[in-house]
Amino acid sequence: MNGDIAPLDPASAEPFYRQIYERFRGAIASGVLKPGDRVPSARALTKELGLARGTIDAAYSLLAAEGYIVARGQAGTIVAPDLKQRAPLASPRPRPDAGAPPSFRPDSILPFQMGLPALDAFPRKIWARLGARCIRAMQPQDMLHPPVSGLPELRAAIAAYLHMSRGIDCAPSQIFVTSGYRHTVQLIAHALLKEGDRVWLEDPGYPPTRELLGHMHIAAVPVPVDGEGVMVEEGIRTAPDARAAVVTPAHQSPLCVTLSLARRLALLDWAAKGGAWIIEDDYDGEYRYISRPLPALKSLDRDGRVLYSGTFSKVLLPGIRLAYLVVPEPQVERFEQIHHAFAGGSPQLTQAIVAAFMAEGHFARHIQRMRKLYAERRAAAKAGLEKVLGPHVRIDTPPGGMHLILRLQGQRSDRELVARMRKQGLYTEALADWNIAGAEGPALLLNFTNIDSRRTAEELARRMLALLRS
Amino acid sequence: MNGDIAPLDPASAEPFYRQIYERFRGAIASGVLKPGDRVPSARALTKELGLARGTIDAAYSLLAAEGYIVARGQAGTIVAPDLKQRAPLASPRPRPDAGAPPSFRPDSILPFQMGLPALDAFPRKIWARLGARCIRAMQPQDMLHPPVSGLPELRAAIAAYLHMSRGIDCAPSQIFVTSGYRHTVQLIAHALLKEGDRVWLEDPGYPPTRELLGHMHIAAVPVPVDGEGVMVEEGIRTAPDARAAVVTPAHQSPLCVTLSLARRLALLDWAAKGGAWIIEDDYDGEYRYISRPLPALKSLDRDGRVLYSGTFSKVLLPGIRLAYLVVPEPQVERFEQIHHAFAGGSPQLTQAIVAAFMAEGHFARHIQRMRKLYAERRAAAKAGLEKVLGPHVRIDTPPGGMHLILRLQGQRSDRELVARMRKQGLYTEALADWNIAGAEGPALLLNFTNIDSRRTAEELARRMLALLRS
């Protein structure tokens, strides 16, 4: 192409860079330039065409961005060698909405992956209907920065739900919508803690909390867990002056035990006396299969020491990225200030969909259905695993939660076993990875919500068995 | 134009270079000078006008920075050849989609509110169609935690866009999707800064940056701004060892001046030598009405010191809560680690909609349309305000941005005036509130993107006039 390039048309409506771009595209499409062919350097072409270097650069950038040409450093610029196979970047993608809605492929879930709700049981049709409605109804105020603390209708729906379902009495103004648990913890840390502060963490406990606080230079004080939940008296003995405690009273994460009433009261008493904060991480308090869910610790909070953290990740979808925090009334102003400084709010659309889902009763119905489904799936998973794995494991049966704990018999390493299982596509977790100072285990953590039958459990168990035996 | 240039006015409040600059602009706007026409050399004009060479150079720099003229080396300097396509000032404005089901009520927008795009011109129908499609097409993998750094298709679309539109050469893996500018700044601060670090901030500058860094115990060093942008040499004099600088090179926020090439190079040089970071806040770099947008500072970054911050708030909708950060390659791993610890990713749905919007070419078209519309609205707003407010104000005409700056004549307080205007529903901002140590002003900042006609501007101006007179 170099040498025989036709002069550009200065009278054209197309700017020069665009004309050059079209020339190259044409030459490539017609086969005049082939994959791997060298194209003139921008400098040479600049000289040849008598145009500004910037014009040539613009044309080449466009060609590169769309995948037609590739810079090869010293070797110069060439027509992309794999051009035929590759779809150019800017070309329209195949439309997924052509014809019928695409079929649902639950096989893309990794077996046992922790923290996931039953994706096949999610009410996708209702969700899509509400979503389409919310997006069509968009008004100017919906396009603006959403209120940083959350859409008023969503905050009101959450307050009503917490009142009924978790025994928490709070005003919508105490609810702060966040983009997830980590965001909630950050908000609390920025508002109430400072570098160097010490915070009780349950041991074992959810690893991301420790990681996050570590990055914020807040020191974790591990407090052991027994059959009654976190050992409050141990925390008081070790670090009476800690500024906060992160706890999971409904189902301890990951041991699933429930914090006893005596411990709840002791914890509240400690916080009230020392002016410390209790961060109640109620990540799946709804999912209790024996009797009805317990009221939240927050419902006992007479002194305004409890910050209640809830999330839609487990009861709806992790992909929705919505969670919330209930702040004691006297701290609301402080949190508003901090939340405003640090965040710009969650997307209007996702909040509007969840608010509609709650307001129309779908949320309560969905939880009700899932509670029943999870009780069944838990029983089926346990039976299937026990049948195949037999004496290699002992399976705990806690009152609630979304995972099973498989205690390994003998002194083997759960970490090493998990590494081998992941290679086989089995996404278990090692309890050892949830320990801080303690040595609970060895045990595997297995989410059961996506195991749809006892047969599936048995199949998965057979894949595990070979690894357990070796 | 050469030869018949009228004498300049030595009594004018405008300095000579500014008068020359205005002459050329006028000549270009009226068609006396056409795209591609040669303009006199600086030396010839210096001689002809009997002025200092520096004066002519200043005028020509300004014209070049704003894209009116282009130096062509030996071939001399010409009026930018692609000026017509880029800044057409009189075309029919795009119709807001009149057929959308629920009625659209743009009256809920507060007049002059800063930072908002033209809400009536947003392609709501296309958006709703894509949104409904994305939500219907939801698959299990879309329900899971989205990849923390962003959906792959969105990161690829952003990288391609930045390459073409902002001259930035980066891989999708260097793009981190965030939930907004504040989130971007937090991510940078957690990854690269520590408590007690000092950071240059432009003075005047966007107030939330200072507030946010303050909460993170990072000290702001105000650096003044003049006609060439932030005064880099002042920053070096005051705080040579600062760890970072937050700058707005395209259109300084709020003065809208463009950072000169000399300053850009000095800033990059300072950062490279001291190992400091440059945070380029390119919040509305697309909206330049004179010639094509300037390449980003990041495009000149040879030493990997620039963190480029972009956002969809201004080019799409604030309510979408999506922004992005481009990280130098060697820092990618560090940012992945930090981003993972602090965030759970942005919602799958909003990312999928934006990715589809970009992949199908709507994004590029929308920006193109808005650039044209904003140029019209800016001219209409300026004309309407000037007609009614007359000698009470002087209105700057910077090359880009989404707001006007109304310089108040006399020594009155812009803050006090703004307080009274807000009571009347006029949502102006006081330049004084954007000052840190400096005392720019008094002036009002007025977003013009939602002022749909000169008549609207005149009506609003009449409401302002009573307050300006009192």
Interface touch B182/A343, C-beta < 8 Å: yes
Q: B136 with B210, same domain?
A: yes
Interface touch A93/B143, C-beta < 8 Å: no
B334 touches A: beta carbon within 8 Å: no
DSSP A268-285: HHHHHHHT-EEEEE-SST
Domain count, chain B: 3
Q: A342 with A248, same domain?
A: yes
Interface touch A347/B347, C-beta < 8 Å: yes
For the segment A285-305, the average pLDDT, to the nearest whole number, is 88
Q: What is the dihedral of CA B130, B133, B137, B138, to 10 degrees?
A: 60
For A107, other C-beta atoms within 10 Å of its C-beta total 6
For the segment A327-354, the average pLDDT, to the nearest whole number, is 94
Omega cis (within 30) before A10: no
CA distance B435 to A47: 48
By Cβ distance, the residue of A124, A317, A349 closest to B350 is A349
CA distance A244 to A252: 17
Shortest distance between the Cα of A193 and any Cα of chain B, in A, equals 12
Q: B332 with B348, same domain?
A: yes
pLDDT value, residue A103: 46
CA distance B352 to B362: 14
Do the Cβ atoms of A374 and A251 come closer than 8 Å? no
CA distance B282 to B309: 6
Q: A345 with A461, same domain?
A: no
Q: At what angle do helices B362-389 and B152-166 cross, to 10 degrees?
A: 50
A64 touches B: beta carbon within 8 Å: yes
- List A residues 197-216 in contact with B (Cβ-Cβ < 8 A): 208, 211-212, 215
Give A430's Cβ-side CA count (13 Å radius). Answer: 17
Q: Is residue B98 part of a domain?
A: no
Give the domain extent around A419.
365-469
Do the Cβ atoms of A167 and A341 come closer than 8 Å? no
Q: A349 with A372, same domain?
A: no
- List A residues 304-333 in contact with B (Cβ-Cβ < 8 A): 313, 317-322
Q: A266 with A222, same domain?
A: yes
For A173, other C-beta atoms within 10 Å of its C-beta total 15
pLDDT value, residue B100: 34
Ranking A58-67, A334-343, B75-84, B157-166 by mean pLDDT, the lowest is: A58-67
Interface touch B102/A139, C-beta < 8 Å: yes
pLDDT at A60 over 70: yes
Q: Which residue has the higher pLDDT, A43 or B114?
A: B114
Interface touch A342/B182, C-beta < 8 Å: yes
Do the Cβ atoms of B396 and B467 come closer than 8 Å? no
Q: What does DSSP assign to residue A124?
A: H
pLDDT value, residue B58: 67
B11 touches A: beta carbon within 8 Å: no
Give A346's Cβ-side CA count (13 Å radius). Answer: 32
For B438, other C-beta atoms within 10 Å of its C-beta total 17
Q: B292 with B328, same domain?
A: yes
Three-class DSSP category at A337: helix
Q: Is residue A255 part of a domain?
A: yes
Interface touch B349/A319, C-beta < 8 Å: yes
B329, B360, B391 — which closes off a domain? B360
CA distance B279 to A82: 36
Three-class DSSP category at A393: strand
Q: Which residue has the higher pLDDT, A166 or A388?
A: A388
% of chain A at pLDDT higher than 70: 86
> And the tokens for A219?
């020191």
Interface touch B350/A346, C-beta < 8 Å: no
Interface touch A132/B127, C-beta < 8 Å: no
For A22, A116, A139, A255, A288, the CA distances from A365, given in Å and listed in that order, are 57, 19, 29, 28, 15
B273 touches A: beta carbon within 8 Å: no
pLDDT value, residue B231: 98
pLDDT value, residue A91: 30
pLDDT value, residue B369: 95
Q: Is residue A3 part of a domain?
A: no
Instruction: Give A187's contacts (C-beta < 8 A, 6+ positions apart).
Output: A176, A178, A325, A335, A338, A339, A342, A343
pLDDT value, residue B96: 34
User: pLDDT tens across A169-185, in order?
Assistant: 999 999 999 999 999 99
Q: A403 with A353, same domain?
A: no
Best of B85, B120, B139 to disrupt the A interface by mutation (most A CBs within 10 Å)?
B139
Q: A66 with A35, same domain?
A: yes
User: pLDDT tens across B24-71, in order?
Assistant: 777 776 666 778 888 888 877 777 777 777 677 767 766 775 567 877
- Angle B356-B175-B400 from CA coordinates, rounded to 5°: 80
Q: Is residue B4 part of a domain?
A: no
Identify the CA nearest to A316 among candidates A288, A355, A277: A355
pLDDT value, residue B3: 39
Q: Is residue B71 part of a domain?
A: yes
Average pLDDT, chain A: 86
Which parts of chain B have pLDDT scores under 70? 1-7, 9-15, 18, 29-32, 54, 58, 61-62, 65-67, 82-108, 292-293
Residues in chain B: 470
CA distance A391 to A306: 43
Instruction: Give B202's contacts (C-beta < 8 A, 6+ positions apart).
Output: B222, B223, B225, B230, B246, B247, B248, B252, B253
B114 touches A: beta carbon within 8 Å: no
Q: Which residue has the higher pLDDT, A104 or A427?
A: A427
B196 touches A: beta carbon within 8 Å: no
Confidence of residue A44 (pLDDT cuts 50, 70, 90): confident
Segment (H or E) for A39:
strand A38-39
CATH, residue A67: 1.10.10.10
By Cβ distance, the residue of B217, B317, B344 closest to A179 is B344
B319, B334, B360 — which closes off a domain? B360
Q: What does DSSP assign to residue A255?
A: T
pLDDT value, residue B72: 77
CA distance A80 to A66: 10
Interface touch B344/A338, C-beta < 8 Å: no
pLDDT at A2 over 50: no
pLDDT value, residue A246: 98
Q: A339 with A373, same domain?
A: no
CA distance B268 to A221: 44
A65 touches B: beta carbon within 8 Å: yes
CA distance B470 to B467: 5
CA distance B463 to A4: 64
CATH, residue A338: 3.40.640.10
A309, A334, A360 — which closes off a domain? A360
Give A52's Cβ-side CA count (13 Å radius). Answer: 19
Q: Is residue B92 part of a domain?
A: no
CATH, residue A388: 3.90.1150.10
Q: Is residue A437 part of a domain?
A: yes
Shortest distance between the Cα of B391 and any Cα of chain A, in A, equals 34
Identify the CA nearest to B403 among candidates B118, B33, B23: B118
Interface touch A349/B346, C-beta < 8 Å: no
Single-letter code of the amino acid located at A411: Q
pLDDT at A367 over 60: yes
CA distance B225 to A11: 41
User: pLDDT tens across A247-270, in order?
Assistant: 999 999 999 999 999 999 999 999
Do the Cβ atoms of A257 and A398 come closer than 8 Å? yes
**Using H for helix, E for strand and C for coil, what is the string for chain B?**
CCCCCCCCCCCCCCCHHHHHHHHHHHHHHHCCCCCCCEECCHHHHHHHHCCCHHHHHHHHHHHHHCCCEEECHHHCEEECCCHHHHCCCCCCCCCCCCCCCCCCCHHHCCCCCCCCCCHHHCCHHHHHHHHHHHHHCCCHHHHCCCCCCCCHHHHHHHHHHHHHHHCCCCCHHHEEEECCHHHHHHHHHHHHCCCCCEEEEEECCCHHHHHHHHHCCCEEEEEEEECCEECHHHHHHHCCCCCEEEECCCCCCCCCCCCCHHHHHHHHHHHHHHCCEEEEECCCCCCECCCCCCCCHHHHCCCCCEEEEEECCCCCCHHHCCEEEECCHHHHHHHHHHHHHHCCCCCHHHHHHHHHHHHCCHHHHHHHHHHHHHHHHHHHHHHHHHHHHHHHEEECCCCECCEEEEEECCCCCHHHHHHHHHHCCCCCEEHHHHCCCCCCCCEEEEECCCCCCHHHHHHHHHHHHHHHHC
For the segment A321-344, the average pLDDT, to the nearest whole number, is 94
Q: Is residue A462 part of a domain?
A: yes
Interface touch A52/B36, C-beta < 8 Å: no
Confidence of residue A344 (pLDDT cuts 50, 70, 90): confident
Q: What does DSSP assign to residue A305?
A: -
Q: B315 with B386, same domain?
A: no
pLDDT value, residue B2: 40
Q: A268 with A412, same domain?
A: no
User: pLDDT tens across A79-96, in order?
Assistant: 877 765 333 323 323 333
